[in-house]
Every structure is written in structure tokens, then in C-alpha cells.
Amino acid sequence: MRPFQELVREACEAEVDGWGFRWLDGRATEERPPWGYARLMAGRLAAATSALDLDTGGGEVLDEAPVLPPTMRATEAWPPNLAVARHRLGPRGVEVADTSAVQGLPFADETFDLVTSRHPVSPDWPEIHRVLRPEGTYLAQHVGPASAFELIEHFLGPQPEARRHRHPDREAEQARDAGLEIRDLRTARCRMEFHDVGAVIWILRKCPWWVPGFQTEDHMDRLRALDRQMRAGRPVVAHSTRHLIEAVRPAQR
């Protein structure tokens, strides 16, 4: 393994724009949920006439779909990702709306027969209901409660209140309160392994909400402790939690 300072410098200088994770190839691994969200999403998009992908990141997952519906829109709020998504998806005719400074979704009522999202920031259930057509579907993979908290709490200490956030049962209840019917709700807990300190630093830069305000100089002792563990042959292990949720706007009576 390369020297500690070299790994730190490399990870601090690496690009983190977009929503791809290839920089971690050979340095970290994460199990995937068994349902294969990208495949499910692609199948639904191929059958749709109009669709919206929320919080598309850099458009990576949406761009995996071989066939897009005639009307395809996406949203993104983080400026670096917005630029990446527009560059990637524009040639495929996808308009990506900037939602960084807007309330709600900038689309008319009953516009889409499919709304998708992989890891939305905070689902706005009334707005999802509003833009869906009757009998339209919301299909998404959400981050679940206490995801990667073994790593997060290494830097922040115990987070008992935060561990309760993003529970799938609570999100399903919120969707029902907004007028949607839950058709499917599945959960998964997936093992993550980090094999060098650079991988840890990079993921904390990539996902800045994990350890807000993360700076290597402020956490050097904790980073060195992880580095010693990994040099001794023991990866840093955490677990991501995910849930697949499918909800439908009922037909009008």
C-alpha cells in the first residue's frame, strides 16, 4: 500500500463531480440490492410515453437505459451534477431542470406516466402525486435508515436520532398520505468494504452529507486509525441500506 500522505493527497485532488463511482474500482466494494434497480428502471422507461427522473445526479443511471420515452425530463439541484447531467443527457433529448432554487417540481399537473429516482434527497410526495397522471407510477430506490453509519459514526460519534431517519415504513406512510397507493416495498442491507484511506476520504467528499464539513486536517487522527487497520489487512466495513418503493396514483373516479 502506498504511503498515507500520498493516498490522502490523491483523494483530496480527485474529481467528485457527477454520480459515478469508478474512482473506487479496486479500492472499495459495495454489494448491490437484489432487485437490480437500473434494469427495472430501464424496462419501465421503455414502456412509458412520458417520464421524469428526480435528482438524476450526473444522469449516469438514466443514461444506462437503452430506450427513453418520447418525453423525458430530469431534475438536479447540485450545480456540478447539473452541468454533468445536461452534458450527458442533452444529446439524448433529455431536458434537465435546475431545482436548486425552486419550490416543488417545475412541471404541470398530470404530466408524466412514470416518475423514477435513484437515491432521491428528500421525496416530495405531494408533488410526485401532482405530476403523475392517474394510474401513473413512481418507481425508485431510496437510501434507508442508518446507511453507512459504521463509517459516519467513526467520525461523528453516536447519532441515535439520525439513525431513525429515512425509514421505509415512514416513507410509505407519507406516500399514502399524499394520495398514492403502495404496490411494492422491499428492503436490503448491503456490505461495503474500504481498502485504503484514500477511498474513505473520496467517498466522504463525494457524499458530503455523511460527515458535514469534512476536512482531512480536522480528522487526521481518525483517518490514521483507519489507515493502520487497513494496513493490518482488515478492511473498513460498513453497511448501506436501501429500499425499493413502487407507488401508483389511483385512477380518477
* Residue range 51-70, pLDDT digits in tens: 999 999 999 999 999 999 99
Amino acid at 217: E
* Residue range 5-32, pLDDT digits in tens: 999 999 999 999 877 789 999 999 999 9
**Is residue 253 included in any domain, yes or no?**
no
Percent share of the chain, pLDDT over 90:
93
Give 61's Cβ-side CA count (13 Å radius).
25
Q: Which residues pair with 112 in a beta bridge?
A: 132
From CA 227, how far away is CA 3, in angstroms rounded? 10
**Is residue 27 included in any domain, yes or no?**
yes
Amino acid at 210: W
pTM above threshold 0.85: yes
Q: Are strands 50-53 and 112-118 parallel, antiparallel or unpaired?
A: parallel
Helix axes 220-231, 197-206, angle to 10 degrees: 130
What is the reported pLDDT for 253? 63
* Residue range 160-209, pLDDT digits in tens: 999 999 999 999 999 999 999 999 999 999 999 999 999 999 999 999 99
**Is residue 48 included in any domain, yes or no?**
yes
Q: Which domain covers residue 169, as residue numbers?
A: 4-248
For residue 236, what is the domain's CATH number?
A: 3.40.50.150
Total number of domains constituting the chain: 1
Evaluate if residue 252 carries a pLDDT over 90: no
What is the reported pLDDT for 19? 74
